[in-house]
Structure 1
Amino acid sequence: MLARLMSDLTARSLPNHGVLELLIPYVEGHKSFHSISNLLERLVTNKTKLSSTTFLESYTDLLLEEISTESEITRLGYNLASFNRLLNAQLALGVADVHTKARFEAIRSHRLFCHILARANDASVVPLAYRNLTANIPKEVQADLVHQFAFQYATDRTRSIQQNWRSIRYLYFYLRIHDMAIRPLFTRTVVSVCITRPLAEKRFVAQKKAVWVCRLVAEVEGEAAARHVEQYFWAWRGDLILQARRELVRLGVYDLARVTTMERLKLLTVVPKRTPECEEDVDTHGHGLAEDRC
C-alpha cells in the first residue's frame, strides 16, 4: 500500500520521500527495520524513484553505527541480514554507493569473526598461541584459524554431533561469504562430523546431507575423493540399516527398520563395522580422512 502510494505520488510529480520520513521513526520505535527493507524492495520492483534521498542516507549511517555496536548476537544476525537487503534495495534506487556497501561488509566481517572467536573460546578449541587473539587480523590468518577451529570441533567428543555440526556449518558460511578458499582439512572434518561420527554412533545419516558433503569434497579434493566418500557412506549406512532390519525381525516385527528409533530404544546391540582396510576418519596429526577413504 505504501509503495503504491509513493508510486502514485511520483506519477503525479509530487514529493514522495515524506512517506519514509513518517514511517522510519515508527519502525524505529519497534526496534526493527524489516518493514523498511520490504518497502524499498517494492519501490525497486515498481521502478519508483525517491524525490529526496537525504533522510534515507542519514538513516543508513545510523543503522551502520547500531550494527557496529550491537552486542546481542541473535539480534545482530537478524540486523545484518535485514540491513543487507535494505542496502541492496538502496543501491538499486541509487541512494547508497559502493563505499557504503564496503563499509557494511567490513563491519559484518568483523562482527562475524568476533562471534566465531567468542564461540571457539567458549568451546575451548582455540590453540594456546591464539588465546588472546583479536578479530583485527589478516584474512589469510582468519582462514587458517577457521580451518583449525573446524578440525578442533570435529575431534571434540565432549560436544554432541549437532553442536559440532552447527559450529562447522557457521564456519562454512563464513568462508563462503568472504570467498575464502576451502582446503582439504575442512572437507575432511565435514566428512567426520556429517558421516563418520554419526554412523559410528549408530545414527542415521540422510542422503541429502551425504550428497552435500560429497559435492563439497568433489569441489575441493576432486571427483575421485568424492567417489570414495560416497562408496564409504553407502556401504556403512547399508550395513547399519541391515543390522536394524535383522534386529527388528528377531523381535518378530516385520515393518520398516528405522535406525534412529531403534537406537533410541537401545535395540541396536551390534555396531556395524567398517571394512578392515579403512583408517580412522581423522588422524592424530589433523590431516583428516586417510587417503584410502574406503
Structure 2
Amino acid sequence: MALLRTRAVRHYDSFGSRVFDVLNVVLLLALAAVTILPLLYILAGSFATESEIDTRPFFLWPEQVATDAYEFMFATDTFVRALLTTVGVTLVGTLVQVGLTLTMAYPLAKRQLPGRVLILNLIIFTLVFSGGMIPTYLVVRSLGLLDSYWALILPLAVNPFYLLIVKSFFQELPEALEEAARIDGCNELGVFRRIVLPLSKPVIATFSLFYAVGIWNDYMSPLLYINDERKWTLQVLVRQLTAPNADSANMLGQQSTVFFPEQGLKFAVIVLATLPILLVYPFLQKHFAKGVLIGSVKE
C-alpha cells in the first residue's frame, strides 16, 4: 500500500505532470484574459472622455474619470423607459416561466399520470423540431400580442429542456415525504407547496437565473413583435445605439446640435445592459453549482 502511494506521489511530481499543470494554467489565464480584457476596456471607456476614446485605441484605466455618459443617459427618457421595461419584463417573465415549468414538471414526474408518455414525447419532439420564425410570428399576431409585452414572455414561456431536467429532479425526491404529507391531510397542491417547493430551492434558483438571463438578453423577440419605439427593451436600444452610422441623438430624443458623449454613451449603455445580470450571480451562487447538475443524471 505504501509502495503504491509512493509511486502515485512520484507520478504526480513527474516532469510531465508539472509541464501539463503549467500549460493548463497558462491556457486558462489566456482564456480569462480574452474574456475579461474587453469588458474592462468597455468599463474604462464608459468613464473616459470623448477625446481619450478617440486618441487611445486601448486602455484599462481612463486618464481622466468622467461620468458625462451616465449622467446624459439617465437624463433621457428613452433610456430610462427601456431600462424599466426590460426590468419589468424580466421579473414578470421569470415568474411566469418558472411557475409554468414547475407546475408542469411536477405532475409529469408522477408515473401514474394518464397520458404521461404521450406528453413527454410531444415535449421531446419540440426539442428536435420547431415551428420556425414565420409561423411563430403568425401565431403571435393572430393572438393579438403584437406590440404587447406578453409577446416577449408567452412564446417562450416553457423551455422543454429545462422542463425535462426539473421533472427528473422531482422524480428523485423521496416519495415517503409526500406520502407522510398526504397522511397528515395535505392534498396534491399542499404537498407541492409545503414539501416539494422547499426542497427545490437549488433547481428553482438555477432555472430562475437561466430564464432571467434569457429574457434580459433577448433581442429577436422585441425586434420581431414590438413596433412601438416607446416599448423597446434595453437590448434593442443597445443595438440601435451601437449600430454603424446610428443617429444616437435622435434616438434619445436630443437635438443633433447639442454635444453629447457619443462614444462614451455606447460604452455606458453596454455596461448597464450587462451589469444587472452579473450582480445577480453572487446571490445565487450557493444554489447554482448544485442546481445546474441535479436531476440531470437519473430518469
State the TM bucket, normalised to the shorter chain.
Answer: under 0.3
Which protein has greater RCO, CA pairs closer than 8 Å, 6+ apart? 2
The normalised TM-score by structure 1 is: 0.24
